[in-house]
Protein backbone atom coordinates (compact mmCIF):
# COMPACT_ATOMS: atom_id res chain seq x y z
CA UNK A 1 0.00 0.00 0.00
CA UNK A 2 1.35 3.44 -0.91
CA UNK A 3 2.02 5.82 1.91
CA UNK A 4 1.73 9.58 1.91
CA UNK A 5 4.02 11.62 4.12
CA UNK A 6 3.73 15.26 5.07
CA UNK A 7 6.31 17.23 6.97
CA UNK A 8 4.93 20.09 9.05
CA UNK A 9 7.28 22.87 10.08
CA UNK A 10 5.94 24.37 13.27
CA UNK A 11 7.03 27.65 14.82
CA UNK A 12 5.44 26.82 18.17
CA UNK A 13 4.60 23.65 20.05
CA UNK A 14 1.31 22.18 18.81
CA UNK A 15 -1.60 21.67 21.16
CA UNK A 16 -3.55 18.47 21.67
CA UNK A 17 -6.16 19.61 19.14
CA UNK A 18 -3.51 19.64 16.39
CA UNK A 19 -2.78 15.95 17.00
CA UNK A 20 -6.46 15.06 17.37
CA UNK A 21 -7.27 16.73 14.03
CA UNK A 22 -4.43 14.94 12.25
CA UNK A 23 -5.37 11.54 13.68
CA UNK A 24 -9.04 12.11 12.79
CA UNK A 25 -7.90 12.72 9.20
CA UNK A 26 -6.17 9.31 9.16
CA UNK A 27 -2.59 10.41 9.85
CA UNK A 28 -0.18 8.52 12.14
CA UNK A 29 2.68 10.21 13.95
CA UNK A 30 5.92 8.56 12.73
CA UNK A 31 8.70 10.95 13.75
CA UNK A 32 9.59 13.94 15.85
CA UNK A 33 12.58 16.08 14.97
CA UNK A 34 14.12 18.68 17.25
CA UNK A 35 16.46 21.53 16.38
CA UNK A 36 18.00 24.46 18.16
CA UNK A 37 20.35 27.30 17.35
CA UNK A 38 24.00 26.63 18.10
CA UNK A 39 25.56 29.44 20.11
CA UNK A 40 28.35 31.16 18.20
CA UNK A 41 27.52 29.44 14.90
CA UNK A 42 26.85 32.31 12.50
CA UNK A 43 26.86 30.48 9.17
CA UNK A 44 24.91 27.34 10.02
CA UNK A 45 25.58 24.00 8.43
CA UNK A 46 25.40 23.61 4.68
CA UNK A 47 25.36 20.15 3.14
CA UNK A 48 25.39 19.00 -0.44
CA UNK A 49 22.56 16.72 -1.52
CA UNK A 50 23.51 13.04 -1.31
CA UNK A 51 25.34 11.71 -4.37
CA UNK A 52 22.78 10.66 -6.97
CA UNK A 53 20.38 13.45 -6.03
CA UNK A 54 20.15 17.14 -6.84
CA UNK A 55 17.97 20.05 -5.77
CA UNK A 56 14.90 20.33 -8.01
CA UNK A 57 14.32 23.43 -10.14
CA UNK A 58 11.70 24.71 -7.67
CA UNK A 59 14.28 24.30 -4.86
CA UNK A 60 11.75 22.43 -2.72
CA UNK A 61 12.68 18.80 -3.28
CA UNK A 62 15.53 16.51 -4.17
CA UNK A 63 15.36 14.71 -7.50
CA UNK A 64 17.54 12.10 -9.14
CA UNK A 65 20.66 13.22 -10.96
CA UNK A 66 20.68 10.87 -13.96
CA UNK A 67 24.46 10.67 -14.46
CA UNK A 68 25.21 10.23 -10.75
CA UNK A 69 22.47 7.60 -10.51
CA UNK A 70 24.14 5.63 -13.32
CA UNK A 71 27.47 5.87 -11.48
CA UNK A 72 25.81 4.53 -8.30
CA UNK A 73 24.27 1.67 -10.29
CA UNK A 74 27.67 0.81 -11.80
CA UNK A 75 29.30 0.93 -8.33
CA UNK A 76 26.63 -1.31 -6.87
CA UNK A 77 26.90 -3.72 -9.79
CA UNK A 78 30.65 -4.09 -9.28
CA UNK A 79 30.65 -4.14 -5.48
CA UNK A 80 28.05 -6.92 -5.26
CA UNK A 81 30.34 -8.94 -7.55
CA UNK A 82 33.09 -8.40 -4.94
CA UNK A 83 35.27 -6.40 -7.33
CA UNK A 84 38.13 -4.68 -5.42
CA UNK A 85 37.64 -0.94 -4.90
CA UNK A 86 40.66 0.00 -7.03
CA UNK A 87 39.12 -1.88 -9.95
CA UNK A 88 35.69 -0.32 -9.28
CA UNK A 89 37.34 3.10 -9.50
CA UNK A 90 39.22 2.15 -12.67
CA UNK A 91 36.06 0.86 -14.37
CA UNK A 92 34.06 3.95 -13.41
CA UNK A 93 36.80 6.20 -14.76
CA UNK A 94 37.08 4.14 -17.96
CA UNK A 95 33.31 4.48 -18.43
CA UNK A 96 33.58 8.26 -18.14
CA UNK A 97 32.00 8.64 -14.70
CA UNK A 98 33.43 11.32 -12.43
CA UNK A 99 32.83 12.47 -8.88
CA UNK A 100 30.45 15.34 -8.28
CA UNK A 101 33.43 17.71 -8.42
CA UNK A 102 34.71 16.34 -11.73
CA UNK A 103 37.60 14.33 -10.30
CA UNK A 104 38.43 10.76 -11.23
CA UNK A 105 37.29 8.06 -8.83
CA UNK A 106 39.85 6.59 -6.45
CA UNK A 107 39.56 3.58 -4.13
CA UNK A 108 39.20 6.07 -1.26
CA UNK A 109 36.38 7.99 -2.93
CA UNK A 110 34.59 4.71 -3.66
CA UNK A 111 35.03 3.71 0.00
CA UNK A 112 33.53 7.06 1.04
CA UNK A 113 30.48 6.24 -1.13
CA UNK A 114 29.70 3.00 0.75
CA UNK A 115 27.32 4.67 3.25
CA UNK A 116 25.47 6.29 0.34
CA UNK A 117 25.25 2.94 -1.46
CA UNK A 118 23.82 1.36 1.68
CA UNK A 119 21.27 4.18 1.94
CA UNK A 120 20.34 4.10 -1.76
CA UNK A 121 20.74 0.33 -2.15
CA UNK A 122 17.08 -0.68 -1.75
CA UNK A 123 16.06 1.72 -4.53
CA UNK A 124 19.00 0.79 -6.75
CA UNK A 125 18.38 -2.95 -6.47
CA UNK A 126 14.86 -2.61 -7.89
CA UNK A 127 15.74 0.08 -10.45
CA UNK A 128 15.01 -0.96 -14.05
CA UNK A 129 18.49 0.11 -15.17
CA UNK A 130 20.17 -2.00 -12.46
CA UNK A 131 17.98 -5.03 -13.17
CA UNK A 132 18.73 -4.73 -16.90
CA UNK A 133 22.49 -4.58 -16.25
CA UNK A 134 22.54 -7.19 -13.47
CA UNK A 135 23.27 -10.13 -15.73
CA UNK A 136 25.85 -8.35 -17.89
Q: What is the pLDDT along the chain (136 residues), one digit of tens a residue?
A: 777 777 777 888 889 999 999 999 999 988 887 888 777 766 666 788 999 999 998 888 999 999 999 999 999 999 999 999 999 999 999 999 999 999 999 999 999 999 999 999 888 888 787 777 775 5
DSSP structure class, residue 101: T
Q: Give the pLDDT score at 9.
A: 77
Q: Give the pLDDT score at 43.
A: 64
Strand partners, 54: 63
Check: CB of residue 35 under 8 Å from CB of residue 87.
no
Q: Give the pLDDT score at 44.
A: 60
Strand partners, 62: 55
In the three-class reduction of DSSP (H, G, I as helix; E, B as strand; rest coil), residue 47 is classed as coil
Angle between helices 66-80 and 85-94 (to 10 degrees): 140
Q: Give the pLDDT score at 33.
A: 79
Q: Give the pLDDT score at 41.
A: 60
Amino acid sequence: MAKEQVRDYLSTAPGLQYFADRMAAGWRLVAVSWERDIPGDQDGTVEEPPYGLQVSSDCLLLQENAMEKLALIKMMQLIVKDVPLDQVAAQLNASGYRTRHGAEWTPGSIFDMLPRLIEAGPKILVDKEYVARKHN
